[in-house]
Chains A and B, each alone.
Chain A
């Protein structure tokens, strides 16, 4: 075994194979680089260096480079040392911190290895390491931009495998046929390659749709990073720079400051339901989670008929370091201590600067952030002390009691909570109402008259709203002095999430059911490739949360009766693939690096140029080697074939021309052409130019006299 491993391997001569492997390796390295690994020095070194390395390996393939191997080993040692240095110097030992230096290490190893790939086996191992590098890029990537690299790399890898196999087979001796010639024809590479790639794509898609989604098991990594630490002006308060002039934290923005197109007025200390205008579809964040859920930002408990407000103005500070442990609201804690809960781990990648809220599924228990302190309100929602701008990442572990419909139905029915209990405090706080219009209260009573349990009451109200009102973004403005709920239910009969949620909360409170309004984001569209939920600004949402004694807060969204985005979530990796692709035009991501484009163009030009030059040289050489009888016979053959009488390989020119003259080129002079050809070909002195011209004109005349038969079937 040892002997075999060290046996000298024959050097690989195929340039095509080397080029294709180089393309695959470069695609993988640029993919990794595009994820932000390494500085600009590494960028240049990687792309240029790898191309140079492969060229050098090809040139040096017959040499036995001991010195080279020693140098490369040294290089690997240095790279590993710098990796260790980067890792040990990092603050935490979490997996997420190691990823980038590890990727850098892989890149350096790949670069060094590219200098020493003489044999085919080395090239294939290079390909394997490019797979690892592509996987590293895949792990680091959170956007769809990796698709381009993946396609290039995939095609290059498939081509390399096909070419390597051809090369391996080509090393074997050929069969030699009857005439001492090779009994094989030169078969093309393109057709089987295209077939193989198509089949691989087909099978891969099928597998992708079936394989369980990543991260469905226990999560080990909790990524967190902050690109900049700009503290919020009001520590513990809410800051939302995307609201422009309406930013609650700041006089910093001038009066003329526009609200950002993706800003949502719900992420503020008060929510005025008379405000109209929705955010656009800018991508604001990406969430990695095993299940979709509403990413809640904050809740409101005080209603005055038009505006929601929060009662808690002094959030508590929570400190910690990876993770920061949160306590949650009193009622949440009480319930989680008692009953079984379901855990959900989320990682949020912020794309646009927004409010300093931690968006997470209810209710967050641990927070992984690159900051040591956050502010927790008494409803369990969290504000950060620093601005969350683009590139910020945090992970949250949320817990929620395991809930089914029957549990909700059975929750605390008929029991009146005793004073001082948690349930009683919740009921008191969250049934606060101003003067509710009589119509509204009466409606609530009428609709829920026949409902026995709280759950049924909620459902009844939802059903009524679904049947009697319309969900639309375009509603008339709220007249001054009007009650928002009354206006929505009886006058406009149309509204969007704020109106609907508010109406549900108000009606439930009027029945004595504790309820509040939550604001946050709907899950967003799942990108089947990255596995992340892409949350856009127009996914901003407001919904109702209802408290069930003994069970906890449960979200209800009447707009579920209205078609919402989202299909039943199954846990295979390829969920949503078809709708995702259908909803997108294939568009190149904006972040395609210049390197890739330049490389691709350069490679295409070089290949095309080389191919064209080679073809032209070969054609010229072949043409120069061909004699007049050969060429003229070919013209005769073409003329005959076009008219349905091709020449058999064993048919002599004389016979052929005689056959033509009696069939498809009926001209007696054509019969002599064969003689002229053979005299020119086999006679001692050939044929004079004059006779050649004569023969050519005879053929020309005969050919124009008789029409072509068209293509033979």
Chain B
């Protein structure tokens, strides 16, 4: 951990000016007591410079980070300090505000990431001017993370495509989509055990006995999101945020969501079933190449999010 002096407090600067003046006065008037006072001030100066540096060298800092975060939302780095001086600490990457530290500490250090991406290391800054508060020293600690910190984009609220606008049924943790994807295939005779609502009354009237609708199997509708991050950085961030908003909305509506992105190692196609995973996938996404267009599960509705929106028909997918 490298310790450096960061600056003088304002009273310290004034003190230096006064001391310079007094030294001049001392030399001209030849006052012995003034030399005593100036020696004491020199002692204060040495202590004020040396002790913060020594105190920081003594300190032991441990930092651990969560595995994911979102742009603009505070995340907490776990900070553990042993033998730390009285001072302040803040997260540097991702950035956060100063928090006070009184001695040993084991607590969360709040940071608000401001950029999407994957961080393999975080850094924390510890600053002190103990005990006199005249000269500030700071030390920056950088920690390599065992699990990289994936910071997802700030989701922009997005509307689902009309074909997938689904209602909700009941309350609880997940909304269950009404099975709007079911198609009526035909009618058949009522068999004991069939649900009453399946009765097709018109057919029954025509046939004279109970007839029920014959349905396609229920399918959970799925949405595929092609994320195209090519182009200038601001556009790419906007795209990522839109994709995040759309994916979250879809997840909330109970759809199966597949993200098609490009990561550093290549194209990635995969389902996401929790908001955390949406953030992670989009954190890792980069704009190096065109996003892949498959493979997608059967019956998947595809949306492309990116700088331009041509609508190619991907293999295995279908258009509304």
Contacts and interface: CB of A to CB of B under 8 A. Distances in A.
Determine whether A and B are in direct contact in the complex, meaning some CB atoms lie less than 8 angstroms apart: yes
Contacts of A196: 47, 51, 131-132
B132 A530 contact: no
B32 A184 contact: no
Interface string A45-72: 0000000000000000000000000000
A444 B25 CA distance: 53
B106 A214 contact: no
A165 B133 contact: yes
Nearest to A574: B39
A221 B34 CA distance: 15
B91 to A, nearest CB: 11
B26 to A, nearest CB: 5
Among A135, A177, A530, residue most surrounded by chain B Cβ atoms (within 10 Å): A135
Interface in A74-120: 95
A37 interface: no
A573 B35 contact: yes
Interface string A125-150: 10110011011011101000010001
Interface stretch (B92-100, B276-284, B286-294, B296-304): B92-100
Given A125-B14, A185-B103, A215-B30, A203 B36 contact: no
Contact of A531 (B31, B46, B101, B109): B31
A165 B11 contact: no
B22 A166 contact: no
Interface size class of B (residues with CB under 8 A): 35 or more
Interface in A595-654: none
B58 to A, nearest CB: 13
A534 B44 CA distance: 29
Interface stretch (A204-212, A294-302, A491-499, A516-524): A204-212
Interface string A522-542: 000001111110000000000
A193 B31 contact: no
Given A175-B105, A185-B103, A200 B29 contact: no
A170 B102 CA distance: 9
Contacts of A150: 33, 36-37, 40
Contacts of B27: 214-217
A213 B15 CA distance: 22
Interface in B62-108: 79, 86-89, 97-108
B5 to A, nearest CB: 16
B86 A177 contact: no
Given A183-B105, A221-B29, A532-B32, A135 B43 contact: no
Given A165-B129, A200-B47, A573 B32 contact: yes
A203 B10 CA distance: 23
A174 interface: yes
A220 B39 contact: no
B28 interface: yes
A214 B102 contact: no
Contact of A185 (B14, B39, B102, B131): B102
Contacts of A217: 27-28
A413 B51 CA distance: 64
B130 interface: yes
B40 A204 contact: yes
Contact of B31 (A154, A161, A206, A214): A214
B183 interface: no
Contacts of A573: 32, 35-36, 39
B39 A187 contact: no
Contacts, number: 199
B195 interface: no
Contact of A172 (B31, B33, B34, B98): B98
Given A135-B22, A183-B107, A529 B32 contact: yes
Contacts of B46: 203, 207
B34 A139 contact: yes
Given A131-B41, A196-B132, A184 B103 contact: yes
A705 interface: no
Contacts of A204: 39-40, 42-44
B38 interface: yes
Nearest to A532: B32
Nearest to B106: A183
A207 B15 CA distance: 18
Most chain-B Cβ atoms within 10 A of its Cβ — which of A187, A213, A214, A221? A214
B132 A203 contact: no
A208 B39 CA distance: 5
Contacts of B34: 135, 138-139, 214
Give the interface size bracket for A toward B: 35 or more
A551 to B, nearest CB: 29
B29 to A, nearest CB: 5
Contact of A214 (B35, B103, B129): B35
Contacts of B14: 125, 128
Given A177-B107, A201-B43, A208 B35 contact: yes
B126 interface: no
Contacts of B43: 199-207
Interface in B131-165: 131-134
B29 A139 contact: yes
A139 B25 contact: yes
Nearest to A206: B43
Q: Which of A131, A150, A178 has the most CB of B within 10 A?
A: A131
Interface string B3-33: 0000000110011001000100111111111
Nearest to A191: B131
Most-contacted residue by chain B among A166, A184, A199 (CB, 10 A): A184
A121 interface: yes
A165 B129 CA distance: 8
Given A146-B33, A192-B131, A207 B99 contact: no
Contacts of A531: 30-33, 35
Nearest to A138: B33
A161 B134 contact: yes
A288 interface: yes
A345 B36 CA distance: 21
Contacts of A128: 11, 14-15, 18
B86 A169 contact: yes
Given A161-B134, A204-B40, A211-B35, A166 B47 contact: no
Contact of A121 (B11, B42, B51): B11
| A141, A146, A199 interface centre (most CB from chain B within 10 Å) | A199
Contact of B86 (A171, A176, A187, A208): A187
A163 B27 CA distance: 33
B10 A121 contact: yes
Interface string A26-55: 000000000000000000000000000000
Contacts of A574: 39
Interface in B103-129: 103-109, 129
8 contacts: A146-B33, A172-B98, A174-B100, A175-B99, A183-B105, A186-B102, A214-B35, A290-B30
4 A-B pairs with the lowest CB-CB distances in the bound complex, closest first? A215-B30, A531-B32, A165-B133, A204-B43
Given A187-B86, A215-B31, 11 more contacts: A121-B11, A125-B11, A138-B34, A141-B33, A158-B44, A174-B100, A175-B89, A184-B107, A208-B39, A529-B32, A573-B36
Interface of A: 95, 121, 124-125, 127-128, 131-132, 134-135, 137-139, 141, 146, 150, 154, 158, 161-162, 164-166, 168-178, 183-187, 192-193, 195-196, 199-208, 211, 213-217, 219-221, 288, 290, 347, 527-532, 573-574
